């Protein structure tokens, strides 16, 4: 297996062994329960991005795709049977295998690592890293296990008990321990919406989004049906609030503790969506005559653990570790996609990483983040990758990083190059 490249010039250099990207697509990301994808199934959304991947790469025979790794957190049976059914349903042959991957919020980035690792070890030549989630259908327990070994709930080890702490309370811990105030959280959230609204109005997401034709049943606030079920085509993210203001968010009550600072307005949205990225060895792309279709490459990724009760600091640990492994600095990165699980932890990570100026200049989440766009757990890593790759093309940047905090206490980060 090839070793990691060291230094910026090595990262940018092209080699036959590179893991390259030929397409990176996603569905719209929509609000759970009220959004336009609330009646869609996660595997339905997965089928859309898998079919779109085939359509976006017409010169790649489907039987050349060896494996698919799908990030998913909440689906029944880990989503493996439904995901395989969806894959077969849209035209993949039985020779293409599939697995699902669960590293909570970084599941589809972990899927990227899975496929890249298989390519680098010559287990496969071509694969797809995908993610799917319907939080509308599967978020009933708030991602807390219902049938858990009682001894763990009463463990003498505090960190063990904290693994099932509500994510909102971990956000409050970060805010309190690292002095992140309510006003700056609200300001950060408003800026996320402003950037996302601007990006949407300027068509920045059009190259990464594939439309979803699905059913939709309008309901009132009590959940009662209004009218007949419709067929709709969803083409845009529906959680962006262009009119969000700091004054408006300041009126919202704390969502997780009475005297807290994290609210529904400065936390990531509960969302539905799917995404998929096609990867292959560069030499395979050359052999198949697909070199002109390469849009980027996956370089490396890493994880770093932290205390479960402040899981939001994870990116501030994973990113330095990744950059150190590759022997580059934050100055070498042209674009950052930092998942906004909560404004508290996103602000902390920006500060801790020394990216305040990059945030102000629009190098960090230039098109908004999960506060505005949403956070469909298993699909988030692949969604962020799609936004990163297409965004680097628009800005003519080369190096980008995707990173997120992960429930139970960790961070993950991946580095990509645009071609």
> Which residue numbers are catalytic?
105, 375, 405
Burial of 372 (0-12, 13-18, 19+ CB in 10 A): buried
In which region does residue 378 sit, left (phi positive, over 0), alpha (psi from -120 to 50) or beta (all else)? alpha
> Can you read off the two tokens belonging to residue 104?
């909570």
Tokens 């190259």, residue? 207
Residue with the two structure tokens 């640990």: 317
Tokens linked to 314: 């994870």
Q: Which residues of 301-320 are buried (b: 16+ CB within 10 A; e: fewer)?
A: bbbbebebbbbbbbbbbbbb
Neighbours of 71 (CB within 10 A): 33
At 347 the three-state DSSP class reads: helix
Q: Can you tell me the distance from the alpha carbon of 348 to that of 173, in angstroms, rounded to the nearest whole number? A: 12
CB within 8 Å of 279: residues ≥ 6 apart: 19, 20, 21, 22, 112, 115, 116, 119, 126, 127, 128, 129, 298
Do you know the residue count of the chain? Answer: 419
- Quote the strand ranges of 157-256, DSSP E: 212-216, 230-234
For residue 151, give the H/E element and its range.
helix 150-153
How many angstroms separate the CA atoms of 334 and 417, rounded?
10
Residue with tokens 């690292």: 178
**107: Cβ contacts below 8 Å, ≥ 6 apart:** 71, 72, 73, 101, 131, 377, 378, 380, 381
């Amino acid at each position: 297996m090839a070793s990691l490249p060291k230094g910026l010039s090595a990262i940018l250099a092209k080699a036959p062994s590179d893991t390259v990207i030929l397409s990176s697509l996603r569905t719209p990301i929509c609000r759970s329960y009220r959004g336009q994808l609330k009646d869609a199934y996660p595997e339905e959304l997965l089928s859309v991005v898998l079919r779109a991947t085939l359509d976006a790469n017409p010169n790649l025979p489907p039987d050349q795709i060896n494996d698919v790794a799908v990030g998913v957190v909440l689906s029944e049976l880990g989503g493996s049977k439904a995901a395989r059914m969806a894959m077969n349903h849209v035209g993949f042959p039985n020779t293409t295998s599939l697995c699902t991957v669960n590293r909570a919020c970084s599941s589809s980035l972990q899927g990227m690592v899975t496929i890249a690792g298989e390519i680098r070890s010559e287990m496969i030549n071509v694969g797809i890293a995908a993610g799917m989630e319907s939080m509308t259908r599967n978020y009933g327990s708030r991602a807390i296990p219902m049938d858990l070994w009682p001894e763990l709930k009463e463990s003498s080890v505090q960190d063990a008990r904290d693994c099932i702490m509500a994510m909102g309370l971990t956000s409050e811990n970060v805010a309190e321990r690292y002095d992140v105030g309510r006003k700056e959280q609200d300001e950060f959230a408003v800026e996320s919406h402003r950037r996302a609204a601007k990006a949407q109005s300027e068509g920045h997401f059009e190259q990464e989004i594939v439309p979803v034709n699905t059913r939709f049943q309008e309901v009132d606030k009590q959940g009662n049906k209004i009218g007949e079920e419709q067929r709709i085509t969803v083409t845009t993210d529906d959680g962006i609030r262009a009119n969000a203001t700091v004054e408006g968010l300041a009126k919202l009550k704390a969502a997780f503790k009475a005297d807290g600072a994290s609210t529904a307005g400065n936390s990531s949205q509960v969302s539905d969506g799917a995404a998929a990225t096609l990867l292959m060895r560069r030499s395979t792309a050359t052999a198949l005559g697909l070199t002109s279709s390469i849009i980027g490459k996956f370089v490396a990724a890493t994880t770093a653990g932290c205390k479960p009760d402040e899981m939001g600091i994870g990116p501030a640990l994973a990113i330095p570790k990744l950059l150190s492994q590759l022997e580059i600095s934050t100055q070498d990165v042209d674009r950052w996609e930092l998942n906004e699980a909560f404004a508290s932890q996103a602000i902390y990570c920006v500060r801790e990483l020394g990216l305040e100026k990059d945030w102000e200049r629009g190098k960090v989440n230039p098109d908004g983040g999960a506060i505005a766009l949403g956070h469909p757990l298993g699909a988030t890593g692949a969604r962020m990758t799609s936004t990163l790759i297409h965004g680097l093309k628009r800005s003519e940047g080369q190096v980008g990083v995707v990173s997120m905090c992960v429930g139970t206490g960790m961070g993950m980060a991946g580095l990509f190059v645009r071609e």
